[in-house]
């Protein structure tokens, strides 16, 4: 645990995992990508709550959280952390790549889902995104999720999501929900990448979300009151 005593919110992160090797790996990623960050560690939920409520708590911006701890399991772990510190960004570092669990984590307030197992580069990419304040969702899981969305292969995406879109926005959304990059969408529709960016920004505003991940959530669970 860090011995510093910051009193205001800053570039500080709490790593919560009962496996010392995982915590060490996350620390190494931070040392490479954000060497000036202040890092705190906890091996169970009780320690995590103590850290968030203690003297260092006001400085912690982000929690990297394992859901399966000795004293808490599953989504309840995330819910308890968010209840104690509703304003911190929580990234789930999971021992599974279950897309249903990933979606549930995002629906319960997580900003990222990083599987521990599998490709090392993917793990580093996810932790690096969290270290930079970004949102991360593995492309493979994204494909699984979008594959279940009925709107993906329907031309009338706007109707399915209860949001009024232009025909071109609907085309961009259909491809975006398939996990395509801006470059691929640009090629598929014969428009410039800058135009694609403008359409994506408009889609995010229309659905009142901040990222592509949350856009998928919005389309998977459309609000009946959306305008």
Lowest model confidence (mean pLDDT) among 3-7, 17-21, 50-54, 82-86: 3-7
C-alpha distances in angstroms, 185 versus 59, 110, 159, 216? 40, 28, 21, 16
Same fold, 12-137 and 149-220: no
* pLDDT mean across residues, the chain: 80
Under CATH, what is the fold of the domain 149-220? Arc Repressor Mutant, subunit A (1.10.10)
Q: What confidence tens digit (pLDDT) does each residue in 182-195 have?
A: 888 899 999 999 99
Q: Which CATH number fits domain 12-137: 3.30.70.520, 3.40.50.720, 3.100.10.20, 3.40.50.2300?
A: 3.40.50.2300
Buried b / exposed e along 195-215 (16+ C-beta atoms within 10 A):
bbeebbebbbebbebeebbbb
pLDDT band per the 50, 70, 90 thresholds, residue 214: confident
Closest CA to 207 of 179, 155, 178, 172: 172
- pTM check: above 0.95: no
The gap from C-alpha 202 to its chain's centroid, in whole angstroms, comes to 21
Indicate the domain borders of the chain.
12-137, 149-220
């Amino acid at each position: 645990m860090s011995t510093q005593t910051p009193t205001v919110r800053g570039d500080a992160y709490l790593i919560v995992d009962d496996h010392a090797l995982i915590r060490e790996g996350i620390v190494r990623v931070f040392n490479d990508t954000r060497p000036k960050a202040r890092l705190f560690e906890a091996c169970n939920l009780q320690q995590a709550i103590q850290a968030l409520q203690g003297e260092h708590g006001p400085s912690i911006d982000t929690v990297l959280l394992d859901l399966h701890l000795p004293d808490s399991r599953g989504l309840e772990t995330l819910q308890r952390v968010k209840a104690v510190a509703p304003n911190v960004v929580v990234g789930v570092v999971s021992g599974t790549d279950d897309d249903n669990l990933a979606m549930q984590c995002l629906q319960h307030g997580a900003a990222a889902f990083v599987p521990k197992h599998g490709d090392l580069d993917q793990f580093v990419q996810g932790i690096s995104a969290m270290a930079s304040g970004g949102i991360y969702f593995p492309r493979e899981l994204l494909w699984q999720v979008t594959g279940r969305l009925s709107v993906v292969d329907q031309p009338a995406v706007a109707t399915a999501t209860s949001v009024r879109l232009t025909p071109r926005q609907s085309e961009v959304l259909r491809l975006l929900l398939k996990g395509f990059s801006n470059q691929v969408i640009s090629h598929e529709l014969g428009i410039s990448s800058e135009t694609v960016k403008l359409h994506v920004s408009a889609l995010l505003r229309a659905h009142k979300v901040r990222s592509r991940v949350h856009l998928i959530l919005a389309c998977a669970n459309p609000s009946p009151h959306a305008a």
